[in-house]
Amino acid sequence: MKSLAEARMLAACGATHLGLPLRLPVHTPDTSEDEARDIVRGLAARPGRKTVRTVLITYLEDAGETLELCRFLGVDGVQLHGRMPLAEVRRLREAAPGLFVIKSLVVGLAGGTGGEAALLAEAEAHAPCVDAFLTDTFDPVSGASGATGKAHDWAISRRLAQALSLELGRPLILAGGLNPDNVARAVALVRPAGVDAHTGLENAAGDKDEALVRRFVAQARAALAAATPWPGLAKARDSA
C-alpha cells in the first residue's frame, strides 16, 4: 500500500489482508513508517474495519524490534519474510500471543535453504509459534525473495500445503507472480488457504490498478470456493 486512498480501494475491492513492507534488505519501502502508521489508523476509522486486517511485512530478525514496530504501526499481524532465528520467533509469540504471525517459506532461496525438504523442516520447527505459512519466490538475479513478480514451481507449494495441513494443521498462503490471469490455475493446483499478490496488480507507474485488483479478487474467490480444502484444514474448520 502506498497511501490510505489505495488501501481503502483495496479493501473496497475485497482484499482481506493489506501488507506494509518495511525495513527491507532489497526493495525500497513504498511508504515511511510514519505514513504506514497513518494508513493503519485511517483504515481503523473506516466503516467495516473488521473486514480487513493490516500486516507488517519485514525482514527483521529481532523479536523485540519487530514487536516494537508492530505496536508503533498498530497492525494486526506480521509476515516474517527474513531469517529470524527460531528462538526469536518463540519470543515474539510469547510476547504477543494475539498477533497474527505468518512465516514465509521462500522457494529456491540460495544456500540450500530454499529446497523442498529444507522448507518443510523449517515449517515443522516453526509451526507451534506461527499461525500460517506463505510460499514465495526467490529471484537469483536481483537477490530478492519477495515482490519479484515471478512464480515458482507450484507443485512444490502444493506438496507443502498438503503436508502443512495434514501434519501440522497450519494453512498455506500462496504468493509469487500471481495475477488475475493465473490465480485460478494456481489455486486449483495448490489448494492454498489464501493467495497473495503485489506486482501482478500494479500498473506501469507501480500503483495498484483497481480493475486488476477487482478481477484478481473475483478469480481468487471463485477458485478458492471451488477448491477442496486439504483434509487437515477441513477438519479444523468443521470443529471450529
- Burial profile 81-95: b = 16 or more Cβ within 10 angstroms, e = fewer: bbebeeebbebbbee
Residue-wise pLDDT for 26-61, tens only, equals 778 889 999 999 999 999 887 655 579 999 999 999
* Amino acid 114: pLDDT: 60
Residue-wise pLDDT for 196-211, tens only, equals 999 899 999 889 999 9
Q: Where are the domains of the chain?
A: 4-107+116-239
pTM, full prediction: 0.89
Asked if residues 144 and 114 have their Cβ atoms less than 8 Å apart, the reply is: no
* Cα dihedral: 62, 65, 68, 74 (round 10): -70
* Amino acid 139: pLDDT: 57
Q: Where are the beta strands (DSSP E) in 59-181?
A: 77-80, 100-107, 132-137, 172-174
In CATH terms, the superfamily for domain 4-107+116-239 is: Aldolase class I (3.20.20.70)
Residues 6+ apart with CB under 8 A from 51: 11, 16
Please give the Cα distance from 70 to 73 (Å, whole number). 5
